[in-house]
Structure 1
Amino acid sequence: MPKVSVIVPNYNHAQFLEQRLQSILDQTYQDFELIYLDDASTDNSNEVFAQFADHPKIRSILNTTNSGSPFKQWNKGIQHSTGEYIWIAESDDFAESTFLETLVPILDNHPNVGIAYCQSRQVDEHNQLKDTMHWWTDDVSKERWRQDFFNNGLDECRNYLSLRNTVPNASAVLTRKQLFEKVGYAYEPMFLCGDWMTWIKLLLESDVFFTAKILNYYRTHNSSVRSKPGAGSRVLHEQMQVFAFLHEQVAIPFEITEIKKDEFASYWLILTLLHKEKIKWKQTIDLYRLAKSFDPFIELRLLKRLKLHGARRYKRKLSQALLSKV
């Protein structure tokens, strides 16, 4: 039985797939199995995979119809795995050869650690290296992710994951299969923020380790799900769900709570009223009800944001909608 199960969920990433699979097979730590899952790709992914299909470390699961959820594919791979540790290696990313060599000993030597992850560098579709993910975490702390650290999982959720998903790429993470089973696997109801919700659930039961070594390359390209129409309103709705869940589970510091509530109000107004993205009023009301569940003063925040955005002409529209449809 291998120590690590590497799950590679793929959908239409044929152009990146060979590099992804080879970066796994070239790991200096070789005690692993690789489970390739194709979610009914419509490109030539299966032709690319065919050159790896007979490798003794590789098993494949090929869907005939698309599952509609990346997190369903995560869970299918985990449920078919035999390893103690899980690496969700997204099919458009790739890794340094020392990824497993660095992170496996952390889980081996620290049984309380449930998530071990590394620094990532972004790379475009042409393999041009871009920034590290410091640009994403610097708003939370400019120093913290520039050095290795251990932290209590509850503290990580309360003070960092409550602000944003500070584990921004699944391919950078090594975790425990037993822990996935304990929390009910990855969170399938979400499409964009399911990884964030999953890290929170795992860290409510364990601790975290981070290494500042750049061992993961996180692909950004125009075909990513976050670049598609409608993604803005969907991600806002899911972010609100994550925050509402955390709000119930842990005592989030007051200053963070106020930041998030005001941030949601601002983002919602930009999406709905300033026409950055078309969004139906029914979706607006759904967002309002979700926000109201953890923020009794959401109306005041919305009116404040309207004033800041200089959108006075929308005040009556918003007020009438909330009064008539809620």
Structure 2
Amino acid sequence: MPSVSIILPNYNHANFLVDRIESILNQTNQDFELIILDDASTDASPSILKTYENHPKVSALILNQNNSGSTFIQWQKGLSLAKSEYIWIAESDDLAAPKFLEYHLSELLANPNLGVSFSASVWIDENGNKIHEPGHETDFQKKGSDLLKNEFIKGNVIYNASTCVFKKSLVPWETLASISTYKYCGDWLFWVDLIKNTEVKRSSERLNSFRRHANNVSFEAESKGLQFSEGLKVVNHIFDTQTFGFLEKQKFIFYWVQKLRNSKIEEKKKFLEIMPFPAKVSYALTPLVNIFLPSTLAS
């Protein structure tokens, strides 16, 4: 049985598929199976994928006849097929350094308390040119519960699934089944429930290339304000499942109020309805708070 099941969900990424699949097949650690899922692509993806059908590393190639409407349905299908103890969800438009799998698998095998290992990314455009290297992606190893109360409450720390290898035993199946309606923040909720009882490690070594292009789902989602309509549901879920002191909770409510107020989306007040009651008061008082306590609460 291979140590890692690599799940490659694809929809209309024909232009990137060959490079993506080759970056997987050329990993220095070859102890894996590759599960390829296509969600009824309308471009050349199916014909490209069929050329890999008989590759010895490909354990399954499933070409949907009808689009499922959700990448998370594809995740669920791939995870159900996975035979291995460890999982890598390799998004079809990204790339991996040759030693990506070797590095993360060695980290997980060396530390039984570690359930998730992920790494920093280089952001690339549709032509593979480097466009950004996030400066905040430093090394850490922390309990998932601590990350939820300090980092994940502000946003999805594992913002690109391709960066990550994790234990299959941690998969929150009920959460996975419930997020098919999410267009933007479903992965955030998935990670929130996956990491809560394990340790998480991030490497600052940039072993993943995260592709940003015009067809990224995130661009349209951000313009529609889904980081609030969906994201605030995730924030409330963290509030409900983790213990926060009163002042600590108010600080994070204020953080999201500030983020909402500073955003460019319209109809901001409708998003306040998703937040706890103090958010409405905080929203109204934000200009005064910014004058007298500009740095204390916003950090």
Give yes or no for the alignment of 1:158 onto 2:142: no
Q: CA deviation at 1:168?
A: 1.5
With the length of structure 2 as denominator, give the TM-score of the two structures.
Answer: 0.87
- Counterpart position of 1:31: 31
Structure 1 257/110 Cα, relative in aligned 2: closer, same or farther at 3 Å? farther
Give how far 1:43 is off: 0.4
Q: Does 1:177 align with 2:160?
A: no
What is aligned with 1:2? 2
User: Which deviates further from its counterpart, 17-26 or 177-186?
Assistant: 177-186
Query: What do residues 15-46 of structure 1 show as CA deviations (whole Å, max 9, x unaligned)?
Result: 00000000000000001000000000000001
Deviation of the 1:271 alpha carbon:
1.9
Q: Which residue of 1 aligns with 2:266?
A: 272
Aligned-pair Cα RMSD in Å = 2.2
Q: In structure 2, what is the Cα distance between the partners aligned to 1:51 and 1:101?
A: 26
CA distance in 2, matches of 1:176, 1:93: 21
CA distance in 2, matches of 1:76, 1:125: 28
Q: Give the Cα separation in 1 of the matches to 2:188 and 2:25.
A: 28
Q: Determine which structure has more spread, i.e. the larger CA radius of gyration.
A: 1
Aligned to 1:110: 111
**Structure 2 CA distance for aligned equivalents of residues 69 and 307 of structure 1:** 42
What's the TM-score, normalizing by structure 1? 0.81
Rounded to whole Å, the distance in 2 between the matches of 1:190 and 1:53 is 31
Is 1:290 aligned to 2:290, yes or no? no
Given the alignment, which residue of 248, 253, 256 partners 2:252? 256
- Rounded to whole Å, the distance in 1 between the matches of 2:124 and 2:234 is 28
Contact 1:266 1:305 in 2 (8 A): no
CA spacing shift, 1:163–1:99, aligned 2, 3 Å: same
Structure 1 residues 181 and 203 mapped into 2: Cα distance closer, same or farther (>3 Å)? closer
Structure 2: how far apart are the matches of 1:132 and 1:116? 19
Deviations 1:209-264 (A, max 9, x none): 11111110000000111222774322321111011001111234343332123323
Q: Secondary structure at the match of 1:218?
A: strand
Indicate if the aligned counterparts of 1:9 and 1:74 stay in contact, CA closer than 8 A: yes
The structure 2 residue matched to 1:192, chosen from 161, 170, 184, is 184
SS in 2 for 1:228: helix
Q: Which residue of 1 aligns with 2:96?
A: 95
Kindly state the Cα deviation for residue 149 of structure 1 after the two structures are TM-superposed. 2.1
* Structure 1 stretch displaced more, 245-254 or 24-33: 245-254
Judged with a 3 Å threshold, the aligned counterparts in structure 2 of structure 1 residues 226 and 109 are, in CA distance, closer, same or farther, namely: same
Residue in structure 2 matched with residue 132 of structure 1 by the alignment: 133
Is 1:50 the counterpart of 2:50? The answer is: yes
What does residue range 233-252 of structure 1 map to in structure 2 within 5 Å? Answer: 233-252=225-244
Gaps of 5+ in 1: 138-144, 275-283, 309-326
For residues 229 and 112 of structure 1, the distance between their equivalents in structure 2, rounded to whole angstroms, comes to 35
Matched residue count = 283
Over 3 Å counting, the alpha-carbon distance change for 1:231 and 1:64 in structure 2 is: farther
Change (3 A) 1:176 1:125: same
Letter of the 1:290 partner, please give it. I
Q: Which amino acid aligns with 1:176?
A: K
* Distance in structure 1 (CA, Å) of the matches to 2:182 and 2:221: 17
The answer to which structure has the higher helix fraction is 1
String of CA shifts for 1:130-177, please: whole Å, max 9, x gaps.
Answer: 22132xx4xxxxxxx33x321111101111111121212100000111
Partner secondary structure for residue 104 of structure 1: helix
Provide the C-alpha distance between the structure 2 equivalents of 1:25 and 1:133, rounded to a whole number of angstroms: 27
